[in-house]
A and B are shown apart, each in its own frame.
Chain A
């Protein structure tokens, strides 16, 4: 599953991993309709580290959910790795997510009843790996995020930054192509946030992960290879206002 083309590949026709075409997303709140995304287009080359910014409520999380197969567009197409994921059945979509996407959340979303290692093993339960293989993979992932020695600890015994690193370990445990991070540093102080960004940057550069990161922080966005702004349902490359 290693990406043939890693970050910064400069061929004439870049290998597009994510292709969002003419996507509308409308939420119904009772009788009221909320148009969040309207005719949105986006192409993300393999190996890119994309920062997604924009005002609160502009639809950043919504877009991320569509690309990660957590939600479906009202209109339009979402293609990842050449596959129309908006067309997949719920069941197929679930197993597609398990294989191709790693998710990192603002509030880590770890299972409080599981140790760090068991949290990282969660997505591996969905693979045919044996018990000992799962353990090896989980320990490796924890090693990558620098928490190999905390594998027996429960989330409540870890700092926010450490919890987020466990979250990242969980996201990369199955070695997915695509990492989707929704405000991964939003709940962390500067120092812990920087460590997380270092980690994401390293994953992008050294392991060729394609990363989409939603953030409100320009310092965080500065770590990305490209930044896009979402406003009024559209993407722009310059901030508005």
Chain B
């Protein structure tokens, strides 16, 4: 620790260069932190997907509907604890850019499947008692400034009403909170009975099934059994764990993770050159001083440590500043204005950033540090 002052003084020597290097490292980490939140938003749900939940959908695509009669057939299969159906509504609230998920669910069963959605008993009762009632995530509520008791009009796209009205009206009666930070609180759920009696077509058809298995270890077998049950029927199914399903959904947009990794790698490679260059100069222009340090008794390894320490302080300050800035930006909110189900800095980004700081410090500093270590005092002092 007593050497920190020395390291710090050396960094102050070329203030401009140190600041520019710090800024570039900071920008790299800012980008890293911010893109980390975006990637997290895209893969939202994968990490928090229930391990005991399977999604059963039409084999051809998620858009194809399934018959509601599948539910009792699925529930009869061994290993299945319960099954419930859901349907994508896909309506528009005011304008298309206000996108959020509206899902038709069986209100009697729904919450049993999702312990991560926390609803007060009062709201639960209200939802069960109100045919046109909607259960809304707290994030969505905040996004549009809704309040319980509001009437929410949603324009139909695929699902027309029997009565020909262009708009479905819902009563906001219940709100759910997420049990975890990663829980999606941007969704809008409403009741199947209301949907079924009001829709113009498609009666008896639902979007997909959510199946709870008795033992998560048997999920693969149960999934196979379900698909087998409906094999060779007009509507064959594809069953998979919820996590895989969500991942597949995210992948439709493109392999976000890969794109981001590519961007981040390119940025870090560039910054590594900047930092490496700074460290190389820092050592080259100080050859004489490093030799003096050795002359007065610093060991070769001590000098190596000083140079690596300098590199670490540089990467550390830049990295921490960048991550803090990213965190501030992220807490200012979702760049899409609310279309991301969640938007926060995931813990693994922070952990990875720490690794990156050490990695960067090492890679940028090691060659100059070794050069400093090998410096022969008598030679260096003659220069």
State the A residues within 8 Å of B (CB).
61-62, 65, 68, 70-71, 90-91, 94-95, 97-99, 103, 105, 109, 111-114, 118, 122-123, 125-126, 131, 170
Residues from chain B with Cβ under 8 Å of A125 in the complex: 2-3, 6
Write the nearest CB–CB distance from B382 to chain A, whole angstroms: 8
Residues from chain A with Cβ under 8 Å of B3 in the complex: 125
What separation, in Å, do the CA atoms of A99 and B3 have in the docked complex? Answer: 18
Q: Is the CB of B12 within 8 A of A99?
A: no
Flag B288-316 by CB within 8 Å of A: 1 or 0 each: 11001111111111100000000000000
- Asked if A122 meets B296 with Cβ closer than 8 Å, knowing A71-B377, A111-B9, A111-B289, the reply is yes
Nearest chain-A residue to B289 (Cβ)?
Answer: A111
Write the nearest CB–CB distance from A72 to chain B, whole angstroms: 9
Residues from chain B with Cβ under 8 Å of A103 in the complex: 295-296
Q: A98-B298, A109-B292, A111-B289 are in contact. List 18 more A-B contacts (CB 8 A).
A: A62-B378, A65-B378, A70-B378, A71-B376, A91-B300, A91-B301, A94-B294, A94-B297, A95-B297, A95-B299, A97-B295, A98-B297, A103-B296, A113-B9, A113-B10, A122-B293, A131-B2, A170-B296
What separation, in Å, do the CA atoms of A65 and B291 have in the docked complex? Answer: 13
Query: Which of B9, B288, B296 is A97 in contact with, Cβ under 8 Å?
Result: B296
Determine whether B144 belongs to the interface, using a CB cutoff of 8 Å to chain A: no
* Majority-rule SS of B interface residues: helix
Write the nearest CB–CB distance from B340 to chain A, whole angstroms: 47
Residues from chain A with Cβ under 8 Å of B298 in the complex: 94, 98, 126
Query: Which of B13, B294, B297, B299 is A99 in contact with, Cβ under 8 Å?
Result: B297
Write the nearest CB–CB distance from A139 to chain B, whole angstroms: 17
Residues from chain B with Cβ under 8 Å of A122 in the complex: 6, 293, 296
Size bracket, chain B contacts = 20 to 34
Determine whether B351 belongs to the interface, using a CB cutoff of 8 Å to chain A: no
Number of contacts between A and B (CB, 8 Å)? 65
Can you list 9 residue pairs at the A/B interface with Cβ under 8 Å? A61-B382, A65-B377, A71-B377, A90-B300, A94-B294, A94-B297, A113-B9, A122-B296, A126-B298
Residues from chain A with Cβ under 8 Å of B10 in the complex: 113
Nearest chain-A residue to B377 (Cβ)?
Answer: A70
What separation, in Å, do the CA atoms of A91 and B298 have in the docked complex? Answer: 9
What separation, in Å, do the CA atoms of A113 and B294 have in the docked complex? Answer: 17
What separation, in Å, do the CA atoms of A70 and B2 have in the docked complex? Answer: 25
Residues from chain A with Cβ under 8 Å of B381 in the complex: 70, 105, 109
Residues from chain A with Cβ under 8 Å of B294 in the complex: 94
Flag B5-36 by CB within 8 Å of A: 1 or 0 each: 11001101100000000000000000000000
Query: Which of B288, B295, B300, B302 is A70 in contact with, Cβ under 8 Å?
Result: B295
Nearest chain-A residue to B286 (Cβ)?
Answer: A111
